[in-house]
Structure 1
């Protein structure tokens, strides 16, 4: 009984947090660079890059929260261009967020003469966000009755007045990135900053003012080439949006399989989350992957360690990602900061 009550409470509250607090997140964030920083558009060796991503979360507690992402980017002579589509469906009310942006970046080599490959890149994204909710699937206090035989009656009017059940708002994002891409160096650091929802447009299903908070992203790390076959990359992602704060710390280890001509990698990850005065350890993430030929495959699973773990039995969410990079480009470009 208590489990059902808490599950119902989560089903009611979480979609609202999704609207007023923080954007959806990806545990394999570095597999989707256009999601992290517009300046990372075109940061790869190849002709073009296609990426697909799927995340399913909290299916053991409430209706699953699912996130899907698709992106494409390519390199031109002077600029890198691309685009990303993200769709997030949350909870019982099918609260849905569809985000589509075009992305462009310019990559400047600081020291072309010395060939040390220090780079600064700037990027921007322009697009739209569409948000919608299915009111018929939401539960309201007015629909509860005092009868034991039928404590909840969905036929009772919910007494809620919504001016609309969907809306479209503009999206404008900026990003900056510094990285060293030198295969001959044992240490290749990178650091990036991005700001999303720069215009902070009004988002509401009512006729009131509710500004979408700007999301500030800082991501940094260093790829360390221990040997020709072994790489270690400690990295940190910090996201702040309104009253919400998220920190992700991970260490990715990669090993080159000579006989298979492939890289295998694993990235144990810790994530914490804070909303207003409420802070918690959110999840431990186990992530593994394979880079073979033009494809990179990733799989991760979130182990919930927050106060919800007693309800979810530690089950969080799983993610799948796949990236294809077409080879080979005719003019030189730096290596991707990730791997």
Structure 2
């Protein structure tokens, strides 16, 4: 029994140390992890995003992830081009040792308009991250008294450092085409850990624990199929060293009420993370608010432990929109 406890503890710790970047099933609602060029890429003046995810509650080492983003933009004078900027916070926790990552990001983007339908953008996002774990949560062989595990026994283990800081850098590019209000497409590419930061807890000068560069490619298409119905496709392909992931999502947007001041839409669909999970998604949009929820059903080999259940996820968004001033209009000509 004790050997199983020890093995599980270090398997989890080892997995967490080699884990990839945090990610969400609803990746299109987490701009800061997809592409820095997404900062300011929305219809409005300011935007606030809140994300939360709880994964694998049915196994002892569930994962918790939370994120917050505020971004805004200001237009270049006499132009529809704009400069976007944003500040984001991400937090991730996993395992018996409560290994966690806290990340503060700040980014800036520039979106250049080409005519009325095309846009090209670039973005950059530096960040500061801290990784920590709680050594008192670990279990050791000296805490086995011959019959059972006794947490009151001293493990005779000490850690000089249970945390580390590192600077990180990401960049991205974006192309957008808007044919009509409800017909649009965008293609993007984001690149993270460009400086390959060393995240080692000990001996940073001698131990090489560099984060490999992560590449994330995105695509989205929105098409109206009926006067009150749109279909929206999202796609993502990302890789980080040997780790690869492909996400596909399809949503239907039903326009329930299109009256100004009482706008109300319902979105429903499903996403697929190839060879891992599928996740039904349901969302509502009311005026400037959006709330979206999804639930992962695991279909990989890990479903034996999770009973096919993966994780619940929620995304909330609010967009601040100012009323545009009416242009000066002469009702009667002057003779």
TM-score category (smaller protein): 0.7 to 0.9
SS at match of 2:75: coil
Contact 1:102–1:126 (CA under 8 A) maintained in structure 2:
yes
- Structure of greater Rg: 2
Q: Does 1:23 align with 2:15?
A: no
In structure 1, runs of 5+ residues without a counterpart are 273-280, 332-339
Contact 1:21–1:242 (CA under 8 A) maintained in structure 2:
no
Offset from partner CA, 1:282-313 (integer Å, 9 cap, x none): 11111110111110001111111122212221
User: Alpha-carbon deviation of 1:16?
Assistant: 2.7
| Structure-2 residue corresponding to 1:261 | 263
SS at match of 2:180: coil
Q: Does 1:326 align with 2:323?
A: no
In structure 2, runs of 5+ residues without a counterpart are 77-82, 326-335
Contact 1:58–1:64 (CA under 8 A) maintained in structure 2:
yes
The higher-RCO structure (CA 8 Å, 6+ apart) is: 1
| Structure-2 residue corresponding to 1:277 | none
Aligned-residue CA RMSD (Å): 2.4
Contact 2:270–2:279 (CA under 8 A) maintained in structure 1:
yes
Superposed, which structure 2 residues align to 1:174-213 within 5 Å?
174-183=171-180, 186=183, 188-207=184-203, 208-213=207-212
| Structure-2 residue corresponding to 1:103 | 107
Offset from partner CA, 1:142-174 (integer Å, 9 cap, x none): 347483x21576735265x64411011001110
Offset from partner CA, 1:237-282 (integer Å, 9 cap, x none): 111112211111111221111376311112311113xxxxxxxx21
| Structure-2 residue corresponding to 1:134 | 134
What is the distance in 2 between the residues matched to 1:174 and 1:214? 11
SS at match of 1:136: helix
What is the distance in 2 between the residues matched to 1:74 and 1:218? 23
| Structure-1 residue corresponding to 2:89 | 85
Query: Between Structure 1 and Structure 2, how many residues are aligned?
Result: 312
What is the distance in 2 between the residues matched to 1:309 and 1:199? 36
Moved over 6 A (4+): none
| Structure-2 residue corresponding to 1:66 | 64
Contact 2:135–2:159 (CA under 8 A) maintained in structure 1:
no
Contact 2:198–2:208 (CA under 8 A) maintained in structure 1:
yes
